[in-house]
């Protein structure tokens, strides 16, 4: 058959991109059309996202994609989870907050006073993260007067099509979906005083959301709009006992399951049950990922008044010996933006590093992330009763050879690294399937076979 083309918008916490995806017999390709920086912006009332800047880049990127490839048949949008924009009189009420803004602590107390965490977990299956949307709502005075609340990809889909929907995989990160039925838990919303009217109708990946009038009526197709949902679509699972790590800003470490696990043990280990494409469950735990490195590099670059090059730093970090003393990458003190080297040094019980100590310090960060990955993999296997025999590491972290090798060494199982652009690929594949490019009943296994063929992963054997 012919090669079909789609456009994928993938917004990450540190960068966004617009891609052209091409799919056909033996063909699976991405062409990057636009890439732009993203990050927290500090305003008088806390940390936000500059969604208007993102929107400008998305629109320009899509226009350029259509110029380069006029045969594009649809567009799909994914981004980081949990954050939202409130609409009133059809307009965005205010700049969306960034999930790393600490105001959410208030919301946590307010929610748990009404519904204790244990009960919440049984209903929504989510690990405790202080920024789950439900806590953000509880700290957001603007909610009562809003017409609708739209998660970030849904917000952009609304701007393109005029349709207000909630794509289900991302909606599962709000804390307001019933983990067993995948429907809005309106009873929970009522208990928490969240007006059901702000929760839009749910749609599934593969459904058409609407048509983009400014783009010649191009269909906007729902994908796994939670970036991690799209990334997991493109994990080339090579064993029934495979685990994955989707590693960008976060390291999302876990398994794909057919049904949720909401046992006391899963709750105690703080494992989440997020909704995946085709009704699968992402059973995983959030570990701090490249965030620890990118914030460290940002702090050093500011101190130097010149950019510190991460690639060069990691190369130097590779030639220092493996440090004995590590820190807990999961420590809550590392969550907010700020002076990362000083905070990590505090956890290590030492002074912030001098210039000559930077490679060694970067090595400690990489090894600490890998150690947290290994610990979390072991917990996932034990909780789901699976003998994990391979770990697929996808996302930007797959470029970090030091991290991949350290993860293999510390977990004792081979790491298969790549694809780097798993999220964009998952976005493209779900659109292409909806177009009928693979036959309507193509399974996730079929999609993953195409990923494995087009992007053979790089193997890291564990060393003792
Ligand atoms: C990764 C991610 C993750 C969420 C976090 C908010 O980008 O979507 O799955 O927990 O951002």
The residue among 353, 107, 100 whose CA lies nearest residue 249 is 100
Q: How many Å lie between the centroid of ligand 1 and the Cα of residue 228?
A: 7
> Is the shortest distance between the CB of 274 and ligand 1 below 6 Å?
no
Mean pLDDT of 256-270: 98
CA-nearest residue for atom 7, ligand 1, is: 80
Nearest CA to ligand 1 atom 6: 81
The reported pLDDT for the residue numbered 440 is 72
CA distance 115 to 266: 19
Mean pLDDT of the region 276-286: 98
| Average pLDDT value for residue range 352-369 | 97
Pocket test for ligand 1, best of 225, 229, 230, 250 (most atoms within 8 A of CB): 250
pLDDT tens for residues 208-250?
A: 999 999 999 999 999 999 999 999 999 999 999 999 999 999 9
ipTM entry: 0.99
Q: At 59, give phi and psi (nearest 5°).
A: -65, -45
User: Is 148 exposed, middle or buried (CB count within 10 Å of its CB: 0-12, 13-18, 19+)?
Assistant: buried
Report, as residue numbers or ranges, the catalytic residues: 227
Angle at 458 (CA atoms; ends 5, 289), nearest 5 degrees:
85
DSSP run (H or E) holding 232: helix 227-233
Question: 281-288 and 272-275 as β-strands: parallel, antiparallel, unpaired?
Answer: antiparallel
**What percent of the chain has a predicted confidence (pLDDT) above 70?**
100
d(CA 440, CA 433) in angstroms, rounded, equals 7
282-339 pLDDT per residue, tens:
999 999 999 999 999 999 999 999 999 999 999 999 999 999 999 999 999 999 999 9
- Could you please report the per-residue DSSP string of 244-307? EEEESSEEEEEEEESS----HHHHHTT-EEEE-GGG-EEEEEEEE-THHHHHHHHHHHHHHTSP
DSSP state of 71: T
Over the stretch 52-74, which tens digit does the pLDDT of each residue have?
999 999 999 999 999 999 999 99
Strand partners, 37: 15
**Token digits of residue 134:** 């439900």
What CA–CA distances, in Å, run from 146 to 88, 140, 160, 171?
5, 11, 20, 18
CB distance 81 to ligand 1 below 6 Å: yes
């Amino acid at each position: 058959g012919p090669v079909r083309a789609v456009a994928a918008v993938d917004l990450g916490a540190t960068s966004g991109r617009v891609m052209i995806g091409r799919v056909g017999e033996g063909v699976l390709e991405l062409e990057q059309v636009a890439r732009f920086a993203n990050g927290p912006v500090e305003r008088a009332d806390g940390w936000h996202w500059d969604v208007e800047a993102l929107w400008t880049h998305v629109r320009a990127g899509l226009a350029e994609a259509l110029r380069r490839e006029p045969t594009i048949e649809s567009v799909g949008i994914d981004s980081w989870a949990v954050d939202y924009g409130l609409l009133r009189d059809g307009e965005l009420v205010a700049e969306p907050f960034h999930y790393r803004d600490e105001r959410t602590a208030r919301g946590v107390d307010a929610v748990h006073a009404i519904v204790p965490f244990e009960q919440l977990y049984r209903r929504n299956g989510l690990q405790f993260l202080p920024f789950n949307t439900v806590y953000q709502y509880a700290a957001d005075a603007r909610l009562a007067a809003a017409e609708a609340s739209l998660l970030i990809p849904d917000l952009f889909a609304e701007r393109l099509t005029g349709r207000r929907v909630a794509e289900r995989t991302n909606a599962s990160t709000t804390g307001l979906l019933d983990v067993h039925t995948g429907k809005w838990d309106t009873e929970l919303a009522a208990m928490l005083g969240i007006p059901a009217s702000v929760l839009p109708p749910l749609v599934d990946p593969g459904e058409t959301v609407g048509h983009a009038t400014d783009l010649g009526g191009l269909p906007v197709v729902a994908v796994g709009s939670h970036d991690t949902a799209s990334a997991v679509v493109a994990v080339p699972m090579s064993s029934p006992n495979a685990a994955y790590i989707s590693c960008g800003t976060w390291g999302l470490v876990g398994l794909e399951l057919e049904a949720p696990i909401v046992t006391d043990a899963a709750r105690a280990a703080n494992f989440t049950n997020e909704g995946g494409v085709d009704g699968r469950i992402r059973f995983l735990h959030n570990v701090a990922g490249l965030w620890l490195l990118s914030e460290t590099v940002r702090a050093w670059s500011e101190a130097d008044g010149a950019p510190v090059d991460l690639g060069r730093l990691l190369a130097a970090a590779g030639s220092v010996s493996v440090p004995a003393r590590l820190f807990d990458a999961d420590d809550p003190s590392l969550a907010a933006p700020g002076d990362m080297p000083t905070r990590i040094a505090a956890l290590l019980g030492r002074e912030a590093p001098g210039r000559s100590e930077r490679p060694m310090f970067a090595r400690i960060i990489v090894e600490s992330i890998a150690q947290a990955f290994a610990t979390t993999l072991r917990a996932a296997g034990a909780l789901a009763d699976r003998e994990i025999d391979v770990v697929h590491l996808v996302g930007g972290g797959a470029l970090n050879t030091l991290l991949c090798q350290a993860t293999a060494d510390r977990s004792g199982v081979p790491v298969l690294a790549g694809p780097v652009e798993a999220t964009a690929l998952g976005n493209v594949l779900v659109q292409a399937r909806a177009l009928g490019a693979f036959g309507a009943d193509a399974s996730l296994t079929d999609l993953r076979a195409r990923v494995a063929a087009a992007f053979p992963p790089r193997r890291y054997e564990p060393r003792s």
